[in-house]
């Protein structure tokens, strides 16, 4: 979605991301258009522009801007992809992804906590995003009826990569996902599915700390 709030520019945040090594101009422009304060609880508003995670309730967090940017950049979006997000959370990452797609393209996003999904949908609707589709479900299952996806981003850490998400990657598709049961020893991994053979390549991008990818016990 292009130009949601052209009058808004979070210049200090964008400069900080550049200093931290983010280079994709489209990713940086998206961060300049999406005010993070709209995605955090009222009591955390004063800290919204800091480069650190914040609690958003229900045991979940909004990731620090650098991690959101690094994961988005690793997807290498060109603006024509079919995109799936697992772990809607606050909707901040969702908005960044939606900014990178043209009119007519859709981001599908799954959240296990109904209250968070509803809150994120309300926020994104109020901000004018009409290219996002929401689902409350176990994200490890993916969204199979809309597969395959050119890009999948997972915003919570499973013990190991769910096979369903790898199966739902299109040829040439990319999956960015934190992996590991111990928050002290999690890896942010980039998976690519080779065109033709369907073989999978894995690359470790960095060490990270994410909340766990929770299962159907959180559906109620």
* CA proximity to 136, closest of 152, 118, 157: 118
Q: Give Cα separations from 81 to 45, 60, 86, 98, 189 (angstroms).
A: 33, 28, 16, 11, 20
Where helices occur in the chain by DSSP H, the ranges are 11-19, 25-33, 65-75, 92-99, 114-126, 163-167
Question: Which of the residues 9, 63, 90, 105 is marked catalytic?
Answer: 63
Place of tokens 């999956």: 175
Task: Say whether 63 is catalytic.
Answer: yes
In order, the DSSP letters of 49-65 are: TSSS-EEEETTEEEPPH
Active site amino acids:
63
């Amino acid at each position: 979605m292009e130009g949601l709030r052209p009058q808004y520019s979070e210049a200090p945040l964008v400069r900080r991301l550049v200093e931290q090594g983010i280079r994709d101009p489209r990713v940086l422009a998206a961060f300049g258009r999406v005010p993070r304060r709209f995605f955090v609880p009222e009591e955390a508003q004063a800290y919204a522009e800091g480069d650190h995670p914040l609690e958003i309730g229900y045991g979940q967090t909004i990731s620090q801007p650098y991690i959101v940017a690094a994961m988005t950049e690793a997807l290498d979006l060109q603006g024509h992809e079919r995109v799936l997000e697992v772990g809607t959370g606050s909707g901040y990452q969702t908005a960044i992804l939606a900014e990178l797609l043209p009119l007519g393209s859709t981001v599908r996003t799954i959240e296990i906590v109904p209250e968070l999904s509803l809150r994120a949908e309300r926020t994104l609707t109020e901000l004018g995003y009409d290219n996002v589709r929401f689902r409350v479900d176990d994200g490890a299952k993916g969204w199979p009826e809309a597969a395959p996806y050119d890009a999948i981003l997972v915003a919570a850490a499973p013990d190991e990569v769910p096979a369903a998400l790898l199966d739902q990657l299109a040829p040439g598709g990319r999956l960015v996902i934190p992996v590991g049961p111990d928050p002290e020893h999690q890896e942010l991994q980039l998976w690519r599915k080779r065109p033709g053979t369907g073989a999978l390549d894995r690359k470790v991008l960095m060490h990270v700390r994410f909340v766990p990818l929770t299962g159907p016990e959180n559906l109620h």
